[in-house]
Amino acid sequence: MNDLVIVFPGQGSQFTGMGKHWYDEHAAVRDRFARASDLLGYSLPDLCFTAPPAELTRTRHAQVSLLVLSYALYEVLTEGREVPVTAMTGHSLGEITALLAAGALSFEDAVRLVSARGEAMETCAARRATGMVAAVRVPVADVERHVAEFNAEGHDVQVANYNSPTQTVLSGTTEDLAELTTYLEDRGAKVAKLNVAGAFHSTHMAGALPVFTEALDAVEITEPRIPVYSNVTGRPHEDPAAIRRALAVQLTSPVRWSEITDALVANRTRLWIEVGPKQVLKKMLVPVVGSGEVLNLDEDPEAVYAAVARVVEAKRREPSLVGLCMGAAAATRNRNFDNDEYREGVIAPYRRLQELDQATQDGAELSDDDRREAVELLTTIMATKRVPEDEQRDRLDTILRRTGDAGLLATAQAHRA
């Protein structure tokens, strides 16, 4: 498998000077920073490159800065080349960057949404002294058990991030977290205080929901072109309405990062690229992805470009989506012996697949509409041949995952309906 997953970092990856060389070297990055500055009403370059670290670290500034920089870097990575991305995701805020990169949000709406999110979270956090700690070197189940025992004594600490089998982030009041730190260290855990200004991804953020929900209602969300994995469910988002619900729930619910990585590892992802500053996600991924390769664009762009080139070449050598659809159409058993139905529902669609295949052999690039049409044609052929629905789903799933077009599964399901 040559699956490629793009991941985007969340709050905590920011630092003064981040992205400066990308800004200096790429007009596309400067254009994104300029557009965001117009939307925000302040200079994003000044904030990222010269402002005091304490100013950039503010939740209202860190989140939108990371969104803009990470997306601009993604545009640099994909400029002038078709990168066969299998799936995208991001940690916390990074999930919104992934939705932007996958085409579910416009740049303007994403900037406005994340700006509102950061402001609402910062305002909520200022109402009470809260924070977050990371418990490491202890299995998740043990941390959950210890936290439950601790909370039974009248405390309220909540799991905020399931980052890995041995890294769990917890949210609560600063007083509770101070006591919990000693409690966990006495039981063999290593506990580190995180440099954040609130108890994110817990019910302590409930006060931010009204403002953020209003901002969500004001933006347009469409179907992602590439599957984007949800922090709330650990699975790909299903539709725009589900995306809207999940983004709101995410504010007060734990990030299920380890479930996302488990699912993608199970899909035999071979290449993971973190697009954004620092290497926070790379460091979390390396121990859990097995033989998969993990790279960070900001750290080593040449290695990333070379790895992407290898994936592109491997995909080029594989049968095309249309070719695989033709193979599946020919291989499935026919159970319909009505000549008129067969002519209309099998022969005619197959001839259209042949036309699409010939166009690709002549050097044409398949458009998104062509890909959708190929899937619909195969679906029509299998339905006309009366192929059992389970077999139809299995064949389509295999083809679309093999070609990196898993996002078209929804198209096939809608066509069958």
CB atoms under 10 Å from CB of 33, counted, come to 24
Using CA atoms of 208, 213, 218, 222 in order, give the dihedral in degrees to the nearest 10: 120
Q: Are strands 87-90 and 4-8 parallel, antiparallel or unpaired?
A: parallel
Task: Identify which of 222, 294, 229 has the alpha carbon closest to the alpha carbon of residue 264.
Answer: 229
Q: Give the tokens for residue 413.
A: 């399901």
Verify whether residue 61 is a known catalytic residue.
no
Q: Which residue in the list 13, 70, 92, 230 is annotated as catalytic? A: 92
Q: Where are the alpha helices (DSSP H) in 336-367?
A: 339-342, 348-361
CB atoms under 10 Å from CB of 385, counted, come to 18
Verify whether residue 253 is a known catalytic residue.
no
Q: Give the tokens for residue 13.
A: 């990856």
Cβ atoms 11, 117 nearer than 8 A: no
Between CA 133 and CA 131 the distance in angstroms is: 7
**Coil, strand or helix at 11:** coil
Q: Which residue in the list 146, 201, 204, 237 is annotated as catalytic? A: 201
Task: Identify which of 69, 65, 85 has the alpha carbon closest to the alpha carbon of residue 28.
Answer: 69
Beta-bridge partners for 4: 271
3-state helix, strand, coil split of the chain in percent (to 5) is: 55, 10, 30
Catalytic residues: 92, 201
